[in-house]
């Protein structure tokens, strides 16, 4: 038995369980990693994709690409464009699978050339309230991402308007329920988590996909309880 194995055997197994500090021993040096929602939040605010601000949690980037490659949607509707990095990421994923377009909606136009000139992205600037649902005519498999203002009122409003578009087997992804965990729930009047709970009480066509939400650990996503799968 080498030294590292002896040391590892002497550490309580519980320290290696999810959510606990994970200790790595390299000779006599002790290093620990601790996933902290606040530092991940700070990082996600600064994240870029191809140089464009793309505000998403890293875990969710991975989950998104799995959903896109499995689902192969014809249309992805993103509510909340910001700088367009998220739309660019989604559009590039669609390019890789060779199918689909992104409709990204905000209340102001974006100025960056890269997303603005992407052939798979169409921009809408009248908010989710002003998006004409006729724009979705002719698309079969539709995925909706609600990543707008995040107040309860905006979230539930957008969910009610856009959920009927989601095709069976596809998703309504409600972003940023992590605001609760970050202590911002009050400023958003309950935010996305409250909107999701209320929506699911009245709509039995959707369920929380626990496999997606808990992929990296219990709700180890910024879209807390936010991967809603349409089942009927």
Instruction: Name the site residues for ligand SAM (rule: CB under 6 A).
Output: 54-56, 78-82, 85-86, 105-107, 127-129, 147-149, 154
In the complex, minimum distance from the CB of residue 209 to ligand SAM, in angstroms, rounded to a whole number? 20
In the complex, minimum distance from the CB of residue 78 to ligand SAM, in angstroms, rounded to a whole number? 6
DSSP for 38-103, written as a single string? HHHHHHHHH-EETTEE----HHHHHHHHHHHHHH--SEEEEE--TTSHHHHHHHHHHHHHT--EEE
Residue nearest to ligand SAM (CB): 86
Q: How far apart are CA 169 and CA 232, in angstroms?
A: 8
In the complex, minimum distance from the CB of residue 107 to ligand SAM, in angstroms, rounded to a whole number? 5
The smaller minimum CB distance to ligand SAM, of residues 4 and 225, is found at: 225
The smaller minimum CB distance to ligand SAM, of residues 112 and 198, is found at: 112
Q: How far apart are CA 165 and CA 173, in angstroms?
A: 13
Q: How far apart are CA 165 and CA 142, in angstroms?
A: 7
The smaller minimum CB distance to ligand SAM, of residues 49 and 206, is found at: 49
The smaller minimum CB distance to ligand SAM, of residues 74 and 78, is found at: 78
The smaller minimum CB distance to ligand SAM, of residues 54 and 208, is found at: 54
Nearest CA to 141 out of 169, 108, 117 is that of 169
In the complex, minimum distance from the CB of residue 53 to ligand SAM, in angstroms, rounded to a whole number? 6
In the complex, minimum distance from the CB of residue 52 to ligand SAM, in angstroms, rounded to a whole number? 8
């Amino acid at each position: 038995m080498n030294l590292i194995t002896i040391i590892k055997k002497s550490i309580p197994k519980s320290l290696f369980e999810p959510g606990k500090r994970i200790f790595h021993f390299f000779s006599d040096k002790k290093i620990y990693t601790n996933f902290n929602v606040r530092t991940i939040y700070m990082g996600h605010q600064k994240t870029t994709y191809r140089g464009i601000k793309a505000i998403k949690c890293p875990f969710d980037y991975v989950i998104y690409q799995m959903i896109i490659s499995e689902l192969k949607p014809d249309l992805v509707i993103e509510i909340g464009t910001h700088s367009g990095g998220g739309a660019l990421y989604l559009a590039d994923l669609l390019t890789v699978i060779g199918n689909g377009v992104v409709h990204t909606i905000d209340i102001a136009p974006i100025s960056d050339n890269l997303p603005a000139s992407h052939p798979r992205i169409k921009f809408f600037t009248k908010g989710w309230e002003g998006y004409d649902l006729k724009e979705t005519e002719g698309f079969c498999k539709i995925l909706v991402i609600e990543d707008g203002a995040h107040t309860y009122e905006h979230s539930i409003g957008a969910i009610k308007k856009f959920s009927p578009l989601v095709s069976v087997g596809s998703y309504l992804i409600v972003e940023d329920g992590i605001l609760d965990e970050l202590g911002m729930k009050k400023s958003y009047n309950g935010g996305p988590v409250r909107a999701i709970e209320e929506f699911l009480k009245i709509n039995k066509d959707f369920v929380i996909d626990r496999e997606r939400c808990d992929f990296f650990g219990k709700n180890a996503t910024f879209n807390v309880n936010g991967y809603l799968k349409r089942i009927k």
